């Protein structure tokens, strides 16, 4: 086991170093991506902050909204996945060819790229949150080790889920001309069903109920609620983790099927 962990540790270390070097060539683009990840929840916070001026909305006051959207910014950055855009290009333009010749599955490169990017940007956002909390007590969270441990677990599962969602959607390029359009549709739905523009508790009952039948709440809203303390009670937390694990297992299964069937029909030239 130790030798296996050492071997894979060296492999991922090399892949992550390479990802860091590639990212250094796109510093400006990465800054813009991070800013966009901050702007969206900041705009939503501004809207709900103004609405809550007269009093709580659906049980959320201004403090609750501030904590929710600050937590959303951090959790979204740590669970973000963009692999469908890479895979769409790799498959259509033949850039998958040389990756298939490597002794590692292409998914490992994508995972290492995710880890390298999030280690840097997530740490930056966490520091920014701590600095803001020094001057704005509203966004401070209590020091509760159990809550932070549960949050870390929920974020890891959510990140894995979003990775397989994005990777599996990208594999649709084996059959379609632009898989990214499907991912853009998914992103649009997640604005409402994952809690990106408002806590799910504030959605119309029919929409909130429908969201519970899909994976959207488990990939973003649930980790945010665990972090902010909005997820109350053992039953609620257990239900959330079970939902995460079930959907993660389903998406891993869909990824495996899509890869096995898609690679058989792959015939692009290039790369």
pLDDT digits 0-9 by tens, 94-103: 888 888 888 8
Q: Please choose, from the candidates 196, 256, 207, 222, the residue with its C-alpha nearest in 3D space to the C-alpha of residue 36.
A: 196
Is 271 a residue whose pLDDT tops 60?
no
What's the pTM?
0.91
- pLDDT band, residue 270 (cuts 50/70/90): low
Determine the pLDDT at residue 268: 63
- pLDDT band, residue 179 (cuts 50/70/90): confident
Q: Which two tokens stand for residue 134?
A: 């020094």
pLDDT digits 0-9 by tens, 31-46: 777 777 788 899 999 9
221 and 213 in contact (C-beta within 8 Å)?
Answer: no
DSSP state of 52: G
State the average pLDDT over residues 232-241.
93
**Residue ranges per structural domain of the chain:** 2-264
pLDDT digits 0-9 by tens, 57-69: 988 999 999 999 9
pLDDT digits 0-9 by tens, 134-144: 888 888 887 78
Give the C-alpha distances (Å, rounded to integers) separating 167 from 17, 58, 161, 163: 21, 36, 10, 6
122 and 129 in contact (C-beta within 8 Å)?
Answer: no
Q: Which two tokens stand for residue 211?
A: 């969201």
């Amino acid at each position: 086991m130790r030798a296996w962990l050492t071997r894979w540790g060296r492999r991922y270390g090399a892949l992550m170093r390479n990802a860091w070097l590639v990212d250094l060539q796109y510093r400006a683009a990465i800054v813009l991506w991070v800013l966009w990840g901050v702007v969206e929840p900041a705009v939503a916070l501004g809207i709900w902050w103004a609405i809550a001026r007269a009093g709580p909305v659906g049980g959320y006051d201004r403090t609750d909204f501030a904590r929710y959207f600050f937590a959303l910014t951090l959790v979204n950055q740590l669970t973000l996945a963009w692999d469908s855009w890479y895979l769409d290009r790799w498959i259509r333009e033949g850039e998958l060819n040389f990756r298939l010749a490597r002794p590692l599955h292409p998914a490992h490169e994508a995972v290492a790229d995710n880890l390298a990017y999030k280690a840097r940007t997530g740490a930056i956002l966490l520091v920014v949150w701590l600095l803001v909390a020094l001057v704005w007590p509203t966004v401070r969270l209590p020091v509760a080790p159990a809550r932070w441990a549960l949050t870390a677990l929920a974020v890891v599962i959510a990140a894995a889920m979003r990775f397989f969602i994005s990777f599996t959607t990208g594999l649709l390029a084996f059959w379609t001309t632009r898989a990214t359009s499907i991912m853009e549709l998914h992103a649009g739905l997640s604005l409402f069903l994952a809690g990106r523009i408002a806590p799910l508790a504030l959605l119309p009952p029919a929409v909130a109920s429908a969201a519970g039948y899909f994976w959207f709440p488990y990939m973003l809203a649930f980790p945010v609620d665990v972090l902010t303390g909005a997820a109350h009670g053992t039953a609620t937390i257990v239900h959330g983790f079970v939902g995460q694990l079930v959907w993660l297992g389903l998406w891993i299964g869909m990824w495996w099927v899509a890869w096995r069937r898609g690679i058989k029909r792959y015939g692009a030239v290039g790369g």
